[in-house]
């Protein structure tokens, strides 16, 4: 099994790259999706979040009230660290299990871990290769505004809250420049796939 870490800032094109690699046959494990799964109603992580942050972070239907929790953790670094201490171990355990299952199903599998915060969190994964989707901050801000309807101030705040381009590029084995056209991103991704299968 080949374990590939795929990272990049918000609106950098990670999902486009992950989808293309999946079309080629890679097994994509999405850290954001797992992060949502581990806080579903009835999970230990959700119970810990409620205990730590209070009942207002739980919606009437028993699910996580993401806006309420976001208001707390985006305003307070200590609160964000507490949240990460709850969710990170659960995400790590679930991700590791998905990697193991993919490797058992196909020892030659290419497993792509789509993980936005690879740089920001301690790297506990034995990646064979780290791929960084790279787009300038200006491009990512524009994409957030155009594609997700985010206002400029919020887009700048989100981009600014993540690792810097320099920090991401420092861990990269491969950089896919996503500032250009979709076709250019796809061509670079196809070249990466050819390299992985060679």
Can you give the residue ranges of every domain in the chain? 2-197
Kindly state the percentage of the chain with pLDDT values over 90.
71
Question: 192 vs 156, which has greater pLDDT?
Answer: 192
Q: Residues in the chain, how many?
A: 198
Question: Residue 31's closest CA among 86, 98, 100?
Answer: 98
Residue 157 pLDDT > 90:
no
What is the rounded distance in angstroms from the CA atom of residue 178 to the CA atom of residue 156? 18
> Which tens digit of pLDDT belongs to each residue from 57-112?
999 999 999 989 988 987 788 998 999 899 989 999 999 999 999 999 999 999 99
Q: Which long-range contacts (CB under 8 A, 24 or more apart) does 30-37 make?
A: 30/114, 31/91, 31/95, 31/113, 31/114, 31/115, 31/116, 31/117, 32/114, 32/116, 34/91, 34/94, 34/95, 34/98, 35/87, 35/91, 37/94
Q: Which CATH architecture has domain 2-197?
A: 3-Layer(aba) Sandwich (3.40)
Q: Which residue has the tokens 């046959």?
A: 25
Exposure string over 29-43, b if 16+ CB within 10 A, otherwise e:
bbbeebbeebbeeee
Bridge partners for 133 per DSSP: 8, 176
In angstroms and rounded to an integer, the radius of gyration of the C-alpha atoms of the chain is 18
Identify the three-state secondary structure at position 77: helix
**Does the pLDDT at position 122 exceed 60?**
no
- pLDDT tens digits, one per residue of 168-188: 899 899 999 999 999 999 999
pLDDT cut 70: percent of the chain above it: 97
Q: Which residues pair with 110 in a beta bridge?
A: 2
- Residues 6+ positions from 129 with CB-CB distance below 8 Å: 2, 4, 5, 173, 174, 196
CA distance 110 to 89: 24
């Amino acid at each position: 099994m080949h374990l590939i870490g795929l990272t990049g800032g918000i609106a950098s094109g990670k999902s486009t790259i992950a989808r293309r690699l999946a079309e080629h046959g890679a097994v994509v494990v999405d850290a954001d999706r797992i992060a949502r799964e581990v806080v579903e109603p009835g999970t230990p992580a959700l119970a810990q979040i409620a205990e730590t942050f209070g009942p207002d972070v739980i919606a009437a239907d028993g699910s996580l009230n993401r806006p309420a929790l976001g208001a707390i953790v985006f305003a307070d670094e200590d609160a964000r660290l507490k949240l990460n201490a709850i969710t990170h171990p659960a995400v790590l355990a679930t991700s590791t299990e998905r990697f193991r299952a993919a490797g058992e199903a196909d020892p030659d599998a290419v497993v792509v871990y789509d993980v936005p915060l690879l740089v920001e969190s301690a790297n506990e994964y034995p990646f064979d290769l780290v791929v960084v989707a790279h787009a300038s901050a200006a491009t990512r801000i524009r994409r957030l505004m155009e594609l997700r309807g985010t206002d400029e101030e919020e887009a700048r705040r989100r981009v600014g809250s993540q690792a810097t381009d320099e920090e991401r590029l420092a861990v990269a084995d491969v950089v896919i420049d996503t500032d250009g056209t979709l076709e250019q991103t796809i061509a670079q991704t196809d070249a990466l796939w050819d390299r992985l299968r060679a």
